Amino acid sequence: MNTPAVAAIRTGAALREALASARETWTETATAGGVIVAVALLAPLVLGGLIATDTLASGAYLALAATGLALCVGLAGVPSLAQGAFVGTGAFAAAHLLRHTQLPAEMCALIGALTAAGLGTAAGFAVRSLDAVRVAVGTWLLTWLVALALGVLPWLSGGAQGLVVPTRRLFGFSPTPLVHYELAVVLTGLCALAFVALRRGPFGLDLAAAAQHRGAAAALGVPMERLRVGAFAASAFVGGLAGGFVVQLDIVADPTAYGPLLSFELLVAVLVGGAAAALGPSAGVVVLGMIALAARALGALAGVSGSRFQPMLEALLLLAVLTTGGSALVPAVSTAARRFLPRRRSRARPTAASSPKRRELLRGEGLAKHFGAIPAVDGVSLELAPGSITALVGPNGSGKTTLLRLLSGALPPDQGRIELGSRDVTTATPTQRVRLGLVRTLQTRSYFGELTVLEHALVGTNRTRRHGGAIRTIVSTPLYRAENRVAEAHALAALEAVGLAADASRPVSELTGAEQQRLMIAAALATNPAVLLLDEPSAGAGSADLDRLEAILLRLKADGLAMLLVEHNLRLLRAVADEILELELGRVVRHARNVRL
């Protein structure tokens, strides 16, 4: 059979598989979203006599930019206030291309989006390790810098007059407001679909984990900083794309239209509509439109322009949502709707599967770490052999947790060497060590409470994936889908190993403290480790929970896993430990093998 025929057969099989997968995962929410998009496409026919089509088109492009912002706020939990700057960057880049080149209108908008993505990448790199407050401040400053640059560089912005943009055909159509509106709705719908795919895939789960507990996510090897940069770049790209098209709708690039107020309004739309809901930003934009009408009415009563009231009303709405703990619009409607809809039967889960075992010797030689003049770890050497449990004991402040952090890569040693098998991992990052098989769990409450039990475990499997990138996730390639099934099976196997497979669909926040401790072990097991570093896994465990934990540890040891156990419960140590290292003031003061405490 010739090559084109083989390719056609494979493509057809892949499409049939994709359609079958889509049918399995289709929900009532997806149906409602499709209906909403279809109704939105028909809106000009219904509202044509009430709202001008160009106003509807501007609002639809605003919804596109807001949906892009949700990639930062909803997925990464990062309160970006720079989306207006990204929209402006895309708008002015496209305007200059339209004025000085003969490129097609769509290509000008795309290049404008890529220009904004470049600025977003730089912004994400600058704030990648900052907390939420500093991210908000930093991105707000970026918005002002872009606005000031447009104000003082007339060659860039066209000065007070702006830049007049020549009109060109758009995807073969005359660029009427109706064409712009339909294009904006389609792009917003596609962006919402991409948001859903990313939220459910490795990219979204890793970002959610990092947003909910940075330390626990880092312990599982989540590359938080790289993912944040990616989220900023994607958000800026969508914002720049909206700007690249809206400037063609307006026919003029006005520098005053892309100031800090636009960034603020976009954030309000996302938070009010629902940052974690695909259609939440669009719903928020509709709310902003209603606020604009209310502001116009107030302005008429006061005899002034309604634009003076609009920012105040938007700020009051956002303040009400944030301070009263009120739910965002789309999540609130979804929660209410579920009460009246029949419970959807969950699709069958794949059978739990085991991964090829990795068994390595971990060796630390002469490890030392000082904080000022105080030695937290002082010349500690140890070996963790496959199929053994080493107990690390000592009083509080003796250096146990610091030693775990040195071994896992959370802290760099001042002196010493760490080897995993034949590899020197002394300078390896936590993510690299997790991929090589060295994983650590943290102390109590180090979990991702807003995820389900299965999603929590899937965060661990993401370190073993090769085809889980953002683009593959959005497109849902055959390799991605196949790897997804394997990852879910391995996550279930990890849950089964700790007795939580039956709770896969439960929210993590509903588990008991002891169950959450076991879940952290399951997430670590999902990475397919060779060496497991456990920090007080019995915290909060009762007698029955302690028996379960003992059985789990003995089973993992029999399976060939090397473990270092920091623990205060002597009953557990007597039952499972093969050797003991006792620390005091960062030094090993006792080393006993094959003993029971």
- Amino acid 111 reads I
- Per-residue pLDDT at 230: 93
Q: Do residues 354 and 544 lie in contact, with contact meaning Cβ atoms separated by under 8 Å?
A: no
Q: What share of the chain is helix, strand, coil (3-state, %, to 5)?
A: 60, 10, 25
**Closest Cα partner for 292 from 283, 273, 282, 305?**
305
More confident residue, 184 or 588: 184
Cα 116 from Cα 125, distance rounded (Å): 14
* Percent with pLDDT over 90 in the chain: 44
- Per-residue pLDDT at 362: 92
Cβ contacts of 198 within 8 Å, gap of 6 or more: 71, 75, 204, 470, 473, 474
Q: Do residues 255 and 150 lie in contact, with contact meaning Cβ atoms separated by under 8 Å?
A: yes
Interval 30-54 mean pLDDT: 73
For residue 108, pLDDT over 90 is answered with yes
- Per-residue pLDDT at 350: 59
Q: What confidence category does residue 278 fall into, taking pLDDT thresholds of 50, 70 and 90? A: confident
User: What is the pLDDT of the chain when averaged over all its residues?
Assistant: 85
Please name the helix (run of DSSP H) or strand (run of DSSP E) that holds residue 184, with its range, or none: helix 177-200
Interval 561-570 mean pLDDT: 89
Interval 108-115 mean pLDDT: 96
What superfamily does domain 362-451+512-593 belong to in CATH? P-loop containing nucleotide triphosphate hydrolases (3.40.50.300)
For residue 17, pLDDT over 80 is answered with no
Q: What is the pLDDT of residues 226-256, one digit of tens each?
A: 999 999 999 999 999 999 999 999 999 999 8
For residue 141, pLDDT over 90 is answered with yes
Interval 571-591 mean pLDDT: 87
For residue 340, pLDDT over 80 is answered with no
| Span(s) in the chain for CATH 3.40.50.300 | 362-451+512-593
Interval 546-552 mean pLDDT: 91
- Per-residue pLDDT at 346: 47
Tokens representing residue 502 in the block: 């039956």
Q: What is the pLDDT of residues 147-156, one digit of tens each?
A: 999 988 988 8
Cα 56 from Cα 285, distance rounded (Å): 11
Q: What confidence category does residue 428 fall into, taking pLDDT thresholds of 50, 70 and 90? A: very high
> In residues, how long is the chain?
597
* Percent with pLDDT over 70 in the chain: 89
Q: Do residues 295 and 314 lie in contact, with contact meaning Cβ atoms separated by under 8 Å?
A: no
Interval 352-381 mean pLDDT: 82
Q: What is the pLDDT of residues 64-98, one digit of tens each?
A: 999 999 999 988 888 999 999 999 999 999 999 99
- Per-residue pLDDT at 277: 87
Minimum mean pLDDT range among 265-274, 519-528, 532-541: 532-541
**Closest Cα partner for 235 from 207, 273, 209, 200?**
207
Interval 220-228 mean pLDDT: 90
For residue 304, pLDDT over 90 is answered with no
For residue 585, pLDDT over 50 is answered with yes
Minimum mean pLDDT range among 48-52, 122-126, 339-343, 421-425: 339-343
For residue 321, pLDDT over 80 is answered with no
**Selection from 161-175, 334-348, 461-475 with the highest mean pLDDT:** 161-175
Q: Do residues 269 and 325 lie in contact, with contact meaning Cβ atoms separated by under 8 Å?
A: no
- Per-residue pLDDT at 533: 93
For residue 595, pLDDT over 60 is answered with no
Interval 372-377 mean pLDDT: 84
- Per-residue pLDDT at 23: 52
Interval 190-200 mean pLDDT: 90
For residue 494, pLDDT over 90 is answered with yes
DSSP label at 328? P
- Per-residue pLDDT at 246: 95
User: Pairing mode, if any, of strands 415-420 and 423-424?
Assistant: antiparallel
- Per-residue pLDDT at 500: 92
Q: Do residues 385 and 575 lie in contact, with contact meaning Cβ atoms separated by under 8 Å?
A: no
Tokens representing residue 445 in the block: 């409450």
Cα 26 from Cα 196, distance rounded (Å): 12
Q: What is the pLDDT of residues 158-174, one digit of tens each?
A: 888 889 999 899 998 99
Q: What is the dihedral of CA 92, 93, 95, 100, to 10 degrees?
A: 140
Interval 556-581 mean pLDDT: 89
| Residue whose pair of structure tokens reads 């020197």 in the numeric block | 424
Q: What confidence category does residue 27 fall into, taking pLDDT thresholds of 50, 70 and 90? A: low
- Per-residue pLDDT at 132: 87
Cα 194 from Cα 581, distance rounded (Å): 50
Interval 523-531 mean pLDDT: 93
Q: What confidence category does residue 13 fall into, taking pLDDT thresholds of 50, 70 and 90? A: low
Cβ contacts of 569 within 8 Å, gap of 6 or more: 538, 541, 546
